[in-house]
Structures are given as C-alpha cells and as structure tokens.
Amino acid sequence: MGGYMTDIVLVALIGVGGTVGGTLLGMFGNSIIEKIRAKSEKRLYITKVRFDHEFEIYQTLSEKHLTMVYDIGAAVMVARGASLPEGVQSMKDFCYVIAQHIDEADMQNKRSAPFISKEIFNSYKELGELSRLALSRFDLWRIICESSQETVKFNHQYYDKKKAQLELEEYQKQLSHLSDDILDQVRNHLIIENNE
C-alpha cells in the first residue's frame, strides 16, 4: 500500500511540475519569441531606411551626371551645325553652363563618397574627367570659329576646327559608353543591396 501511495504522489507531483513548468516555459517562450521578432523587425526597418537613403543618393548622382553627359551630346550637335540649347545666348555661355554642370556633378560625387560604392564613385570621377576633356575640345572649336585663326595651339598640339570637333566627338562616344556602364553598375549594386 505504501508503494502505491508513493506512485500516486509521484504522478501527482510530475503532473503539477509539468503544469508549472509548462506555464513558465510558455511565459518565457513567448517573451523570447517577442524579443526575436522585435529584433528582426528592427533590423528589417534599418535595412529599408538605409536602402531608401542609398537609392536617393544614386538617383541624385545619376541626374547630375546625365545632365553633364547630355550637355556634351548637345555640344557635339552644335559643332555639327545645330542651334544652341534654348535659353543659351552664345557658345561661350554654353561652355560656362557645361562647366557649371560638370562642377555640380563632381561636388555631388564628392559629397556622396562615404555613402556609395568606391567602384561607382571612381566611375563617376572618370566620367567627370572625360567631360572636362570634351568641354576643352568644344571650347577650342568655339575659339577657332569665333576668331580669324585657322589653328590654335593647345597642349603642344595645333588644332583646327575639324581636329577639335573629331576629338570632341570621340570623347562624347566614350562618355556615352561609360555613362551606360555606370547605370548598369548602380542597378546591379542596388539589386544586391536590396537582396541582402
């Protein structure tokens, strides 16, 4: 009889222990799950905010640099006989506008440097340098057109209108190609960042 009673007490104690243990485990288990969920939601929110901010930076950079590339394309068209862009009074004024857009794009790239991919930063920097070279050839072409000289000496070389125009067109092709490459770099970078 004593053994039977011990078994009953033991089963009762196990039942009570299981109930208390289950209740405690349920309370602590829910708390642990809530903490994990909160951490996950916080991490997801931070990732989204970071991505949105980075996306805005790349959008601004792209707009500035595409304006610069467009300007050089317009300069090529002017050298081929097209009219100056609307609102521009002279070729000299157009050179100032192009230079201003190149400087704005360069400043935006420098401001964004800590927040963007180093590879993309360097590509934008190269785009700016090519734009400056193209602008220098357009300015040479303009000087020859507006003066009585047939040639102008620049960097130890003599340029006539045709040579200045050909180099301008060559730089514009390189700019256009590099600009397309950068857009692909940015697109791929943002896809990778969004999937991490």
Q: What is the pLDDT of residue 34?
A: 72
The answer to whether 121 touches 109, Cβ cutoff 8 Å, is: yes
Q: What is the pLDDT of residue 27?
A: 57
The answer to whether 102 touches 131, Cβ cutoff 8 Å, is: yes
| Helix residue ranges per DSSP H, 80-195 | 91-112, 118-146, 161-195
Which whole-number Å values give the CA distances from 73 to 14, 119, 133, 162, 168, in the listed order? 85, 25, 13, 17, 9
Summary mean pLDDT of the chain? 85
Q: What is the pLDDT of residue 36?
A: 73
Which whole-number Å values give the CA distances from 70 to 5, 90, 175, 185, in the listed order? 95, 18, 10, 19
Residues in the chain: 196
| Nearest one of 137, 154, 122, 121 to 72, comparing CA atoms | 137
Gap between the Cα atoms of 52 and 41, Å rounded: 16
Q: What is the pLDDT of residue 177?
A: 97
Q: What is the pLDDT of residue 37?
A: 72
The answer to whether 34 touches 162, Cβ cutoff 8 Å, is: no
Q: What is the pLDDT of residue 82?
A: 95
Positions in the chain whose pLDDT score sits under 70: 1-30, 32-33, 42, 45-47, 194, 196
SS3 118: helix
pTM for this model (two decimals):
0.76
Gap between the Cα atoms of 184 and 98, Å rounded: 24
Residues 6+ apart with CB under 8 A from 1: none
